[in-house]
Amino acid sequence: MTPSLSRRTGSQSALVRGLRNSRSLIGLGMIGAIIALAIVGPALAPYSPSELVGVPYDIPNPDTLLGTDSLGRDVLSRFLYGGRNLVWMAIAATTLGLSIGIAIGMASAYFKGMTDEILMRLVDIQLAFPSVVFALLFVTMLGPSPLLLVILVGVSQAPSVARITRGAALGVVERDYVQWARAVGIPTRRILMSEVLPNITSPLLVELGLRLMWSISLLAGLSFLGYGIQPPNADWGLMVNESRNALTIQPWAVLAPILAIATLSIGGNMFAEGMSRAIGRTEGTK
């Protein structure tokens, strides 16, 4: 399963090469579109997300283009407002997960020995708690705050990133120029940041897409179980939860946020898929 390291060149070219693949471009476009929607959405919303504009579960009409939700609030407005939380939280959690994972993975590969063993066993311990269980416990303990959710989702993503990073970095740290840099006493942090990291960006770009997808799925799932963003906030995951019972009588309150979540998530997936194709690796791992 070891990726062919010899074909790796540098970070810029990996990204550029990756983006030459139409899939990663489309994926990036989808992600961009949803981010844009989340940012400008509130400005376009006809009502405030909490305003009561009609009776519960009214079907689409000229006043409320996508109908109303369980409390008679405008679905379109809530939809336009509801992306902000999920988007920033997913991006923040992914960034956090990647940062922690990369740090652990590189340290593990670079220092080897005891450090490697301890770090990898920590990763095992963390992996032993499924993300949902992990989040469930902590949210119950500390209360559902957005920051906590970001940390929980981020941390639960870190172990698999660490494994991928370690796997890729193991080959790189053996190379002559890294050994040379080490021998002449260049600070470890600089070696890791400027020699090791740039040479393992390809699998990490794949991982970025996959992690984004997982973050979204996990955040939305937690909202669905009632452990995520709390009412009366407008949030896509919460919207699905609040109106899912009425799928047959007012589908838009559920379909609109699902379509957005799916677009974001498929975008992440296609980006990963395109990246790995362009880079020569065919599929990322979990």
Partner 1 sequence: MTNASRAASRTIRGWLVRRSALAILMLLIVSFLIFCATQALPGDVALIVLGKEASADQVQMVRQQLNLDQPVLVQYLRWLTALLQGDFGTSLVSRVPVTDILLPRIMNSFFIVTLSMAVAVPVSLALGVLTATRKDGLADRTIMAGSIMVNALPEFVLGLFLVLLLSTSVFHVFPAVSLLSPGKPIWTQTDRLAMPVITLILLQVTYLYRLVRGTVIDVLQTEYVQFAALKGMSPRRILFRHVLPNALVPAIQAAGTIFAFSVGGVVVIEYVFGFPGLGTALADAVGMRDIPVVQAAVLVISVTFFVVNIITDIVSFMLTPPGRGGRN
Partner 2 sequence: MSDKRTIEYLTTTRRNFLLGTTGAVLSLGVLPGSLAFAADDAVTLRVAATGSNADSLDPHRTQGQITDIVRFMNIYDGLSEYNPDASVGLSLAESFTPNADSTEWTLKLKAGIKTHDGKDFGADDIIFSVKRILDKEHPTKGSALISFIDPANVTKVDAATVLFKLKDPYGPFPDVWANRYLRMVPVGFDPAKPVGTGAFKYVSFTPGRESVFERFDDYFREKAKVKTLQIVNISDAAASINALRGGQVDMAYKIPFAEARIIVADQAMKLLNNPSAMAIPIYMRTDVEPFKDVRVRQAFRLIANREQMVKVALAGYGAVGNDVQGRSIAPCGPTPIEQRKQDIAQARKLLDEAGKAGLTIDLVTVNGTSGMVECAQVFAEQAKAAGVTINVKVTEEAAYLANYGNWTFGVDFLSDAYLPVVARSLLPGGTFNTSHWNDADFNALYKKAVSISNVDQRCDVIHDMQKAEYERGGNIIWGFANTLNAYKAGLAGIEPYVVDSPFYHLRKVSFA
In the complex, which residues of this chain contact partner 1 (CB under 8 A)? 1-2, 121, 124-125, 127-133, 136-138, 140-141, 167, 170, 213, 216-217, 220-221, 224-225, 237, 240, 244, 247-248, 254, 258, 261-262, 265-266, 268-270, 273, 276, 281-283, 285-286
Q: How far is the CB of 105 from partner 2 (least distance, A)?
A: 29
Q: How far is the CB of 118 from partner 1 (least distance, A)?
A: 11
Asked if 114 interacts with partner 2 (CB under 8 A), we say: no
Supply the DSSP string of 32-76, one letter for each residue.
HHHHHHHHHHHHH-SS-TT-B-SSTTPPP-SSSTT-B-TTSBBHH
Q: Which of 204, 265, 271 minimizes the C-alpha distance to 27?
A: 271
Q: Report whether 77 contacts 49 (CB < 8 A).
A: yes
Does residue 224 bind partner 2 (CB under 8 A)?
no
Q: Which entry of partner 1, partner 2, none binds 55, CB below 5 to 8 A by partner kind? A: partner 2
Cβ proximity to partner 1: between 64 and 160 the closer is 160
Strand partners, 73: 52
Q: How far apart are CA 256 and CA 156, in angstroms?
A: 28
Shortest distance, position 143 Cβ to partner 1, whole Å: 8
Nearest by Cα to 106 from 143, 63, 161, 152: 161
Q: How far apart are CA 31 and CA 37, in angstroms?
A: 10
Residue of 55, 86, 83 whose CA lies nearest to 69: 55
Establish if 147 lies at the interface with partner 2 (CB under 8 A). no
Instruction: Give the interface segment with partner 2, choosing from 3-11, 165-173, 245-253, 264-272 (CB under 8 A).
Output: 245-253
68 phi and psi angles, rounded to 5 deg: -120, 170
Contacts (Cβ under 8 Å, ≥6 apart) of 166: 104, 105, 106, 108, 109, 116, 120
Q: Which does 231 bind (CB under 5 to 8 A by kind): partner 2, partner 1, none?
A: partner 2
Q: Which whole-number Å values give the CA distances from 225 to 126, 155, 216, 241, 264, in the listed order?
A: 22, 20, 14, 8, 20
Closer by beta carbon to partner 2, 206 or else 229: 229
Q: If we measure between CA atoms, which residue out of 193, 191, 268, 258 comes closest to residue 221?
A: 258
Binding flag, residue 146, partner 2 (CB under 8 A): no
Tell me the C-alpha distance between 172 and 181, whole Å: 12
Q: Using the minimum distance from each CB to partner 2, give the nearer residue, 40 or 52.
A: 52
Q: Which is nearer to partner 2, 129 or 224 (CB)?
A: 224
Binding track over 33-72 against partner 2, x by CB under 8 A: -----------------xxx--xxx------------xxx
106 or 234, CB closer to partner 2? 234
The site for partner 2 (CB under 8 A) is made up of 50-52, 55-57, 70-72, 140, 143, 226, 230-232, 244-246, 248-249
